[in-house]
Amino acid sequence: MTRYDILTAVPTAFHRDGTLDIEGSRAIFRFVADSGNEGAFVLGTTGEFPAVDAEEFAAIVEAALAELQGRMRVVVHVGRPSTFEAVRLTRIARELGAVEFAALTPYYLRATDDAIFDYYRAVSDAVGDGRLYVYIYPARSGNPVSPELLVRLAELPNVVGAKISELSLDDIAAYRAVVPADFDLYTGADRDLIAAVEVGAQGVVSGVSSVTPKPFRALADAGRAGDAAAIVAAQAAVDDVVALIGGDMARMKEAYRVLDVVDTHCRMAIAEPSAAERTAVAEVVAAHR
């Protein structure tokens, strides 16, 4: 059966001074839990993971599992530049009860295919009887994953899929052509749910769906039903919100203020929306809430 899964990439809440707002994060998790989406992707790019230390990581994962587990899948991102840190975070999350994990390739320094394979082999071992997704994002990590390397990674015992960001639909199709049929592929392009599924993906990891889930649910439902007219209408709504909010965490957090979920801010160096942008965010949220 063709799937149209939506995993919500969840922002992390911070106070204006940059300190972690764990209660604000809990509020976001509760909002996401009510979305109807299939899962949550915690502490990924949208969650500003490079700016979170190990103690904060544990607190956020504990809160995510408490608010989301039992209502939707929870995929915890554990990727780090070093195998040591990625394994350490995997063990922390596993001890807290996580069963699904994702790991960005090693990043900042260039790594060989063999070094990347060794990294995932170690993380896979740390996952135990859980499930691990390869997070492929060469525009940020600097380390690509070729189809040939993904085939090798798919043979590791707990590697069950991949999240693919800022690569083309042709790239997704190339991965689909070589990995096993039960190996899941998720695009990181919010607007590409239907297009990605058509080339063999199982769904999307979407940050924008964290604040406006309704049009994404409509698009997934239309895809499952094979309703061409409904797909066109829902796609237009998704395109509308993605064009304004996109991958901008500051605009997502402005949307949470508009929705009265939480007054939250970014820790990383992300520009706050202008007055005009705040007005536009309020309008698009009102139109699609």
Model confidence at 259, pLDDT cuts 50, 70, 90, reads very high
Model confidence at 35, pLDDT cuts 50, 70, 90, reads very high
pLDDT at 94 over 80: yes
pLDDT at 152 over 80: yes
Q: How far is CA 224 from CA 5, 105, 231, in A?
A: 10, 32, 10
Which pLDDT score, from 0 to 100, does residue 265 have? 97
Which pLDDT score, from 0 to 100, does residue 75 have? 98
Q: Hey, which residues are catalytic here?
A: 137, 163
Which pLDDT score, from 0 to 100, does residue 161 have? 98
Which pLDDT score, from 0 to 100, does residue 95 have? 98
Report yes or no: 200 and 172 within 8 Å, Cβ to Cβ. yes
pTM score, two decimals? 0.97
pLDDT at 1 over 90: no
Q: For 94-114, what is the mean pLDDT?
A: 98
How far is Cα 258 from Cα 260, in angstroms, rounded to an integer? 5
pLDDT at 110 over 90: yes
Q: How far is CA 125 from CA 85, 103, 218, in A?
A: 14, 13, 38
